[in-house]
Amino acid sequence: MSAPERIPPRSMTPADLLSEGELTVRGRIREASNAALYCTVAHDGQEAACVYKPVAGERPLWDFPDGTLAAREVAAHLVSEATGWGLVPPTVLRDGPYGEGMVQLWIEAVPDAELLALVEEDEPGPGWKAIGLAEVGEGRTALLVHADDARLRRLAVLDAVINNADRKGGHLLPAAGGRLYGIDHGVTFNVENKLRTLLWGWAGEALTEEAVTVLGGLQEQLTEGAALAERLAGLITPAELDATRARVDALLTAKVHPEPGGEWPAIPWPPV
């Protein structure tokens, strides 16, 4: 009698692994403002590092409903995937050792990537965009600049769509293979304009043709009954989903990068 044929384990996508794998807490990321745990997730011989942010560890905010930040992180990933730019690491909502939470693939940042800088000059040099003046101590200021980088420009468009209130320098992760990821999207999708970012270098400039095309596709995917709209409806409120549609419509009408509105501080604090 021959031995039964062994069926090899299926190759899982990162999202499948994050959703189905056994989640093991390895430590805490102490610099995070909300509870963030460094974990591994394993299933059928496959393993990956990840971040787990339980809803129970979210600090209450006056301008966001309690217990909604994890879902907003997942919503940001879905919108990123819909653009085709892949700017947010795979992110899922699932149960874990401390209850339901957001689980996101860990991205190992490449060191020494030059995305932000402080310069003594009044104007940014070639390849750089001005953000604004920053205090550097002893009454001195310097010009804060970011790279004139196509990856950052795409991220600036994504942030405008999801209304990101906290795009800090530490939330930019350059990765192997020339990839760039943005992380920490808990304070997004608010109905009010709360865009706070370090990526103001293109403010008022025309959107790229690529961005206009991507936004047109996103507009279609956000129509009522479309798959993306249905998935987002389970993560954010109906008013927030309508506001997201309105932001995409406004970007397509103006065809320029948004400028600071003035209602809120334009740059998050601390900026890095």
pTM above 0.85, yes or no: yes
- Range 6-30 average pLDDT: 85
Give the angle subtended at the CA of 24 by the CAs of 23 and 30, to the nearest 5°. Answer: 110
141-193 pLDDT, tens per residue? 789 999 999 999 999 999 999 999 999 988 999 999 999 999 999 999 999 99
Q: With pLDDT > 90 as the criterion, what percentage of the chain qualifies?
A: 76
What is the C-alpha separation between 146 and 200, in angstroms, rounded?
9
Compute how many other C-beta atoms are within 10 angstroms of the C-beta atom of residue 109: 15
- Please, what is the end-to-end C-alpha distance for the chain in angstroms? 66
Count the residues in the chain: 272
* Phi-psi sector, 44: left (phi>0), alpha (psi -120 to 50), beta: left
Contact 41, 12 (CB under 8 A): no
Cβ neighbors of 56 (< 8 A, separation 6 or more) are: 35, 98, 99, 101
Sign, CA dihedral 215-218-219-222, equals: negative
Rounded (10°) angle between helices 150-162 and 238-254: 130
